[in-house]
Every structure is written in C-alpha cells, then in structure tokens.
Chain A
Amino acid sequence: MEKIYSEYPKRRGLTKAAPETIQFLMNFSKSLHIIKHAEFSFEGSLN
C-alpha cells in the first residue's frame, strides 16, 4: 500500500516561542542603543 502519511508526524505541529523568549527580546530591544558616527554604527547595551 502506498505510504501517504508523513513519517514525521511532529512536523505538522504548530509551535510558538515561549513568553520568556519574547520578554528577552523586548528587554534586548529596550537596552540596545545604536550610536552612529560617519559611516560606522556602534552597538551598545544600556543595562
């Protein structure tokens, strides 16, 4: 019989990033500070 089902059932599953990851990204975004000078840009973290 022809195999019509995926061998990887987990691939069908939907998933979401954890709230902690999103919180981390928000904190990262808030702390990230970009300073531009001439054609250079410098990254800094304001923690």
Chain B
Amino acid sequence: MNLQIEDSVLVRDYISGDEKSLEVLINRHNQRISSFIYSKVLDRDITEDIFQDTFIKVIKTLKKGTYSEEGKFLPWVMRIAHNLIIDHFRKNKRMPMFEGSDDFNIFSVIGDDKLNAEKQIIKDQINTDLRYLIDELPDDQREVLLMRIYKDMSFKEISENTGVSINTALGRMRYALINLRKIIDKHNIVLTN
C-alpha cells in the first residue's frame, strides 16, 4: 500500500518550518510543471529559468503566509508558471530574439562601427608613426597640414591664421602630402590597417 502525504499537509508543514516538505512538493510536481513549461517555450534553459522563478514565487508566498489553502496546490503553481510564461513571451515580443544557425550568423551582417582591439592598436600605431613623419616636414607645411587634418580648419581659416593667401596654404598642403609620400617611399614605411 502506497501512502502519500497530501499536498495540503506538506504545504502546512512547510509553512510551519519543515523545509523537507518543500523538497517533497517540488520533486512530486517537478515533471508535470517542467513539461508544461517546456510545451510552451520549447527551450530547456528557459524552462529551467521559469521553473525556478515559479518556485521562488511559491516560496515567497508561502513564507509570507499569504497563501490560502484550498487543497489546490498544483493548479495554483501551474497558474504562476503560466503567468511567468506569458511574461516571458511579452518580454521577447518587446525584445525579439534572433538565433543564428551554422549557415548564417547575424553578426556577419550587423555589427557596431567600432574597430576590434587588434585593429584599434594598429590604427593607434599608424597615427603615432604618422605624427613622427609629420614632424619631419618643413615648419610651414607642417603647420598647414596640422591645421587642416587635426584641427579640421578650412583653407580660408588657415590663411587667416597663418597670414598667407588661400592659394599659398593650398600649395603648402599639397607639398606637405608630396613630401610625406616621399619620406614613406624612401624608408619603405608601410602604413595600412
């Protein structure tokens, strides 16, 4: 003869402080509740999460003493699980989840515009090397190049700041670039990212 303690008795014992009763309740209804959740969400990890959240609510309600025993423990737990499943789908609707497959990875199509760590280091090195090369230019050419490239000034502003005509500023910029290329070619410097 198989005697099984009723859920209501276990709930009462648990509220009275018998932690073991909760374990019996969880193990007794584990498969039924898990299968119910899984039948809706079709994902084992999410099932596990919702199962856990369901019993966290159960534990809190029982410990707070706000549970009214009407001999319907399992339907009550199932209703909590059901509400949490609805919450899960609502949340996913607001934040749709896309899962890639072996053939297609979403990150090959979208990505942020930032460089990865390696490319950022290379870019920084190139910028540093370039500054050394610019320092090799004659003063007047270096001044124009720095204003144009690093300070983003227009040639009109450069001419006003340096006291030369726009054409002279343009010419100095042109020679600055020609000379930079010459230095790069002469020393076989590779500046690529």
A→B interface (CB under 8 Å): 8, 10-11, 13-18, 21-22, 24-26, 28-30, 32, 34, 36, 41, 43
Number of interface residues of B (CB under 8 A): 24
- 26 chain-A/chain-B pairs, Cβ below 8 angstroms: A8-B42, A10-B42, A11-B38, A13-B38, A14-B34, A15-B38, A16-B30, A17-B26, A17-B30, A17-B33, A17-B47, A17-B52, A21-B48, A21-B51, A24-B52, A25-B22, A25-B26, A25-B52, A25-B55, A25-B56, A28-B59, A29-B22, A29-B59, A30-B19, A32-B59, A41-B64
Q: Nearest chain A CB to B17's CB is how many angstroms away?
A: 10
Q: Is B60 interfacial (CB-CB < 8 Å)?
A: yes
**Interface positions of B (Cβ within 8 A of A):** 19, 22-23, 26-27, 30-31, 33-35, 38-39, 42, 44, 47-48, 51-52, 55-56, 59-60, 63-64
Q: A15-B38, A15-B47 are in contact. Are A25 and B59 (CB under 8 A)?
A: yes
A28 close to B27 (CB less than 8 A): no
Pairwise interchain contact B52-A14, C-beta atoms closer than 8 A: no
Chain A residue contacts of B60, Cβ below 8 A: 32, 34, 43
Q: Which of A14, A25, A43 contacts B35 (CB 8 A)?
A: A14
Q: A8-B42, A25-B52 are in contact. Are A17 and B22 (CB under 8 A)?
A: no
Ranked 7 nearest A-B pairs via Cβ = A17-B51, A15-B38, A15-B34, A29-B59, A14-B35, A25-B55, A34-B63
- Contact yes or no, A22 B63, CB < 8 A: no
Cross-interface CB contact of A26 among B23, B48, B51, cutoff 8 Å: B23
CB pair A11–B48 under 8 Å, yes or no, is no
Contact B39 A11, beta carbon cutoff 8 Å: yes
* Cβ B42 vs Cβ A26 within 8 A: no
The answer on a CB contact under 8 Å between B30 and A22 is: yes
